[in-house]
Amino acid sequence: MKRNLSQSRRPVLKSFGLMVLVCSLMGSPGISGVAFAANSSPSPSPSPSVSTESMQPSSTSASPTSSVTTPLASIPATPTPSPSTSQTMAEAIGKGAEMGQRSARVTASSSTTAVKQLSAESLGSEGTWMPTFGVKGLDVSGYQTNVDWQQQWNMGSRFAYVKASEGNYFTNDLFSSQYQGARSVGMIRGAYHFAIPNWSSGADQARYFVQNGGGWSPDGYTMPPVLDFEFNPYEGRTINGFYFGNTCYNMSAGQLASWVQDFGNTVRALTGRLPVIYTNTSWWNQCLGNPSGFGDYPLWVAAYPSSATDYPGALPSASWSAYSIWQFSSTGPFAGDSNVWNGDYPSLQRFAGAALPTGSFDDLSVTGSGTQFALRARGWSVDLANAAVSNQTHVYVTGPDGSTTGYPWVANTSRPDVDQALGYGPSHGFDGSIPISRSGTYSACAYSIGTYGNTPLGCKSVTATGIGVPTGSFDSLTQIRAVDKVTLQLKGWAVDQANPGNSTYADTYVTAPDGTTTGYRMTANTPRPDVDAATGLGSNHGFDYQIPVSTPGAYKACTYAIGTNANIPLGCQTLNVGANPSPIGSYDALSLTLAPNSATLQVRGWTLDPTQPGTSNPVSVYIASKDGVAITNPTPTSLTANLQRPDVNSALGTIGDHGFQATLPISSTGNYSVCTRATGVAPVSNGPTLLGCKSISVTTTPATTGFLDSAAVQISSGQAAVVTQGWTLDPALPAISIPVHVYITFPDGSTKGYPFTANLKRADVNSALQTTGDHGYSTSVPISTRGQYRVCSYGVAVSIFSAYNAQLGCRTLTY
């Protein structure tokens, strides 16, 4: 640790300081009794519980959740030691403690022999390797005085934590510059507090932390607050009369656990977020006894493997089975400590944004037969703060007698439709059955349980009546082909035997050739007198449904009859949809066009879709490589082949407009390879078709040419001027009048340039060079000082590939 702390041992001051501290804490606002007393957050019951008064789920925290950060002005005053004690302590500890009290960097810089001897925790082999997964980040404190944030960003860091405070006596004087510096380069950033739990209560230090930079807002780029809870940085030391205790702060495991809950509940009440807990597994297990009940807090684990690995080692297993952040090195590659977020960048953004859980209560139905009946609740639920893990769904059912019972379920069933639509992963569905024994109306309300709050998914009611399951038949899967569309046609019938007087639904799930599955709801209400004749369940139960398709290949449709009490599979069928012909065409030409101050590649050709020859189809043009180097993700120029090409129509005996001409701007010389690709407009077209690639070499154009015919000092009406005459042109664009720049060096040695345009007629030049355009110039620049002048003129190219701007000549004049 880089600090110079007082090593004094003054028993009298120590005793007096402890008495003052205890009295201070006991008398602080918001604290009564022992500073370490705090209630743990209740967890949902693992088994159903009966309640007749409340429909609300059990909370995951004892503190209320808020999505809005409490303004600082509304935060209660923070209890602190007396002003003189606070000032003296802040001065005595210098820059304070920093993360990783047993890391190689901190122990190497520590002046305390006892800390240096803890080599078991200080692995000198920490280096600049990084895990192969996740999003990398860093943490800094007052010891990192000059962080080059742009460099850290360029090295791959995407988030940063900055030390804000310690105890309730110290704040990082670099916090603002470090916090804003990280944000200025685009990092997601947050603040951390170094806990000294035997100094004051958790609530006390939480308020102090939030008042001094530890707040949070749902702006998408602020990480949740962090509690740094680890080895005592001042172990065995007395500073300004206060004895800091052993590595566990002279506190019991129960006191430390209560202190964390006190801190966490207060931070959540003030900011709307539970803090992240930063700790070391060995210290946590040693000092807190590896307690349970902290699983709602995200874990930031410090572990420094001796060689490159993706495994941080053991975690505090009673509360966590996975970590959110891993501090894997204190010696690089980043400034301060190096960390990795255990997920991808979108998940880090969601973590910063504190997304609440979401989901859908899709269906409540009655299932069963004979004497066995059950309510079936279906839907999906995901905790957006931790979407990779299946979260809980709590369902509260009120029966016909008015009693309410709660059921906690894990939403871990497969919902490929949810994953396809929202990208949260497939294992977020819930599908539970609740036994019932009487008819009547049942109401159910579902809640998605999240890390930072619970979201109601709505309530549904169902009446348990007769017994019966749906039935039906998936008769056929065929295709209907037309010039402008191809559709799948599904035919069959479905009837709910528990309610045959009404038409039901038949849901079909179609898996396309690319493996994606899409669900469709069909109403079974078309006349089927044959079904009525065979079953006596009525005739309006048929379905005849069409689904447009655009890709050739095998389609598999699985259909279900939807009923009041159950959904019954009616079978699956597979159909192969053949492809329409691919587009045809020709890549005719590739050329270079120069214009003043610009250059473009011109691409010409034609294409058509044989299935719909009267419709102009799309074509894309792109640069595939330059100077032999392939362009990995080319940006194509997309256009429609809608120019008239009567030669194509005549040759092919077709109709419509099918020509295309594309323009690709370029800005440098080199060897270009340009490709064209045509896409069909007909459904299930087999394509796109590569029409070909062509190469072209773009070289430097000649320098400008011309001449300074004359230069003189002329006096008119008492005004002297330097007058030049001559001509200049750009050989690459000879018809264009180009700029001419005149530079005059004055008698005092200063030089100034004057721009003109060579646009005067010079028939002699055009005749001699066999060119066109106006290329002469005549310039005049007023002067007033007598002495010697040096005048030079230059022809300025308009071709962006010109070799250089040629000097047309210089003259020395005397005025």
Q: Which residues are part of the catalytic machinery?
A: 139, 228, 230
Q: Spell out a b/e string for 218-254, using b for 16 or more CB atoms within 10 Å of the CB, else e.
A: beebbbbbbbbbbbbbbbebbbbbbbbbebbbebebe
d(CA 506, CA 523): 6
Phi, psi of 105 (to 5 degrees): -65, -45
CA 138 to chain centre: 18
Which tokens belong to 152?
């850290």
What is the C-alpha to C-alpha distance for residues 323 and 300, in angstroms, rounded to an integer? 6
* Amino acid of residue 550: S
| Separation CA 191–CA 216 (nearest Å) | 9
- Long-range Cβ contacts of 753-756 (<8 Å, 24+ apart): 754/779, 754/781, 755/796
Phi and psi at residue 419, to the nearest 5°? -60, -40
Rounded to 5°, angle at Cα 90 from 84 and 94: 145
Tokens representing 743 are 């530079």
Q: Are the C-beta atoms of residues 636 and 605 closer than 8 Å to each other? A: no
Helix (H) or strand (E) holding 256, with range, is: helix 253-271
CB atoms under 10 Å from CB of 76, counted, come to 13
Radius of gyration for the alpha carbons in the chain, expressed in angstroms and rounded: 39
d(CA 507, CA 469): 15
Half-sphere exposure of 411 (CA within 13 A, CB side): 36
Q: Is the dihedral of CA 281, 286, 287, 288 positive or negative?
A: positive
Which pair of tokens denotes residue 225? 């607050």
